[in-house]
Amino acid sequence: MTVAKEHAARRGVIGAINEAHHRAVLGLYMIIVLAHWAEHLVQAYQIWVLGWARPQARGVLGMPFPWLVSSEWMHYAYAIVMLIGLFALRPGFVGRARTWWTIALAIQFWHHIEHLFLLIQVQAGFLLPGTTVPTSFAQFLIPRVELHLFYNSIVFLPMLVAMYLHLRPNERELQLQKCNCTQEGRQRLAANSGS
């Protein structure tokens, strides 16, 4: 067994996706994030450009599958997937990129708590005093804000910064990186697996 494989086996799945497979898994994760963002952008287009009524503006996949828009479980599941992705891919980030990725992780963790709180309200059938619909903590500060969209939008920005810094590391960060996201990283992994 090569040194790289021994190392990956020792660290298990998390080790593998943060070293030899970081680029592929991170790419897949970003495709999911961007597809979700694009769906909401289509929704905005349907409302403000096409002039559709809000319940009919359900993006692309929400048109044939309305439950994708209305299901509290679905949104909670997406928040969990995002949280798991941010957590599982974090060890591959170093330096400044790791700081920004951690900020995104912290925001997403709070987002997940908000969704859990909403889900409990829906499932248990109770409402907070003075409210007529399940309400999140953020909606006390910014009334009528759409929780899901708000948090996903603000998580996206530190993720983008982290991604940029991860793909354009300074020399110190380059030495710390163990993943295959940069050309140097791929060369290093190839050199290790060939040794």
Partner 1 sequence: MSAGRRTLAIVTALASVGVALTIAAVARQSDGTPARVLTVDPGDGAVLTAAPDAVTLRLSTGADSVLSHVTVRDSTGNAVNEGRVRGDGKTGLRQSVRLTGPGDYSIAYHITFTNGQDATGVLRFSVGTGAPPQGIADVPDPILDEADHAHGIDPLGATLLVLDGLALVVVLIMLLRPRRRSPAATDPPTAPAGSGHQR
Interface residues with partner 1 (CB under 8 A) are 24, 27-28, 31, 34, 37, 40-41, 43-44, 47-48, 53-58, 60-61, 63-67, 69-72, 75, 118, 132-134, 142, 144-150, 153-154, 156-157, 160-161, 163-164, 167-168, 171, 174-175, 180, 183-184, 186-188, 191-192, 195
Smallest distance, Å, CB 193 to partner 1?
12
CA angle at residue 14 from 162 to 4, to 5 degrees?
100
Provide the token pair at 34.
């961007």
**Per-residue buried b or exposed e for 28-66, using 16+ beta carbons within 10 Å of the residue's own CB:** ebeeebeebeebbebbeebeeeeeeeeeebbbeebeeee
Q: For partner 1, give the closer residue by CB, 13 or 167.
A: 167
Q: What proportions of the chain, in percent to the nearest 5, are helix, strand and coil?
A: 75, 0, 25
Smallest distance, Å, CB 116 to partner 1?
13
Provide the token pair at 107.
């925001």
Smallest distance, Å, CB 146 to partner 1?
5
Smallest distance, Å, CB 9 to partner 1?
19
